[in-house]
């Protein structure tokens, strides 16, 4: 059953430690690299060799990319992977990264049951736990269609078992990051997490694909109640940084195009498609 349509979650076995999997026995969709600058960049530069549902993964990402051109810092223990989704509907893409946020939440909560219902989304694509950043998402549509398919590379970084105290990075520079191992007794191994993420992302790809389903069943439409429930910002006073100004307002929710709605001091509600939010 499709989780995004509100069906029951199933529990999955987890392991505390993640032994290095037998590399000769990896699933065919998994491209495991010893190291690379950025799994998203790799997925773009190797586009012709990758297919719908393929996953590029490395334990050593040396020049990770984040939102708005920022650097994504990936010390040991941060899971870094990119998922290839093809044949998506370009008109629905504005809502995709929020939906990916839900997929990340579901995958982590399935495998770390003691985090059940603790994860939240901070628009547009941060996954938080206890108001600290557990995961980040970078969705990039390929420029021009790859082999005639509208493709999106979904990059996901999850702070799985990273020691941010030892790395000595400034908490603000790493968005107040927190690692799953410091919150949960169960830390899923990488392969289980990749499988679970892929499972949900393939479900999403179906909902964001070019089909003749009615608009009420496509994109974010059916996910709005769950997005609202998981919205870390709703009701908060926030500041949104745009390229030329910063706007203050109260977050009132997310619309079906994935825009953040802010009530401004003059009581009008304005939708935002991008920007960096603090609260």
Binding site for ligand BTN (CB under 6 A): 38-40, 64-67, 70, 72, 80-82, 126, 136-138, 155-157
The answer to whether the peptide bond before residue 124 is cis (omega within 30 degrees of 0) is yes
Q: Which is nearer to ligand BTN, 119 or 137 (CB)?
A: 137
Q: How far is the CB of 11 from ligand BTN (least distance, A)?
A: 27
Q: How far is the CB of 278 from ligand BTN (least distance, A)?
A: 14
Structure tokens at 159: 């702070």
Alpha carbons 105 and 122: distance in angstroms, whole number? 12
Q: Which is nearer to ligand BTN, 65 or 195 (CB)?
A: 65
Alpha carbons 70 and 157: distance in angstroms, whole number? 14
Q: Which is nearer to ligand BTN, 167 or 185 (CB)?
A: 167
* Residues in CB range of 118: below 8 A, 6 or more apart: 109, 129, 130, 183
Q: How far is the CB of 79 from ligand BTN (least distance, A)?
A: 8
Structure tokens at 160: 């799985």
Structure tokens at 25: 């026995």
Q: How far is the CB of 62 from ligand BTN (least distance, A)?
A: 10
Question: Using alpha carbons only, how large is the chain's radius of gyration in Å?
Answer: 18
Query: What order of strands is seen across the sheet that includes strand 30-33?
Result: 30-33, 55-58, 78-85, 152-159, 132-141, 126-129, 119-122
Q: How far is the CB of 80 from ligand BTN (least distance, A)?
A: 4
Q: How far is the CB of 157 from ligand BTN (least distance, A)?
A: 3
Closest Cα to residue 222, out of 202, 207, 205?
A: 207
Beta bridge partners of 79: 158
Q: Which is nearer to ligand BTN, 18 or 39 (CB)?
A: 39
Q: Which is nearer to ligand BTN, 73 or 106 (CB)?
A: 73
Q: Which is nearer to ligand BTN, 92 or 156 (CB)?
A: 156
């Amino acid at each position: 059953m499709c989780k995004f349509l509100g069906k029951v979650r199933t529990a999955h076995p987890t392991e505390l430690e993640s032994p290095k999997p037998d590399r000769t026995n990896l699933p065919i969709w998994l491209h495991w690299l010893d190291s690379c600058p950025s799994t998203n960049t790799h997925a773009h530069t190797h586009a012709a060799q990758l297919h719908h549902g393929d996953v590029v993964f490395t334990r050593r990402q040396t020049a990770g990319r984040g939102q708005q051109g920022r650097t994504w810092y990936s010390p040991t223990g941060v899971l870094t992977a990119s998922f290839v989704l093809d044949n998506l509907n370009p008109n629905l893409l504005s809502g995709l990264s929020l939906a990916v946020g839900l997929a990340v939440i579901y995958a982590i909560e399935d495998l770390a049951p003691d985090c059940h219902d603790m994860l939240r989304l901070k628009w547009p694509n941060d996954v938080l736990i206890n108001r600290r950043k557990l995961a980040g998402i970078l969705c990039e549509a390929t420029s021009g269609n790859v082999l005639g398919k509208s493709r999106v590379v979904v990059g996901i970084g999850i702070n799985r078992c990273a020691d941010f105290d030892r790395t000595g990075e400034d908490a603000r520079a790493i968005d107040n990051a927190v690692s799953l191992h410091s919150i949960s007794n169960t830390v899923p191994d990488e392969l289980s997490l990749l499988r679970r993420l892929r499972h949900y992302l393939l479900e999403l790809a179906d909902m964001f694909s070019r089909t003749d389903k009615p608009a009420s069943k496509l994109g974010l439409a059916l996910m709005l109640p769950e997005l609202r429930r998981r919205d870390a910002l709703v009701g908060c006073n926030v500041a949104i940084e745009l390229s030329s100004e910063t706007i203050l307002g109260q977050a009132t929710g997310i619309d079906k195009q994935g825009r953040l709605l802010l009530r401004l001091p003059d009581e009008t509600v304005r939708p935002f498609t991008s920007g960096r939010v603090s609260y």
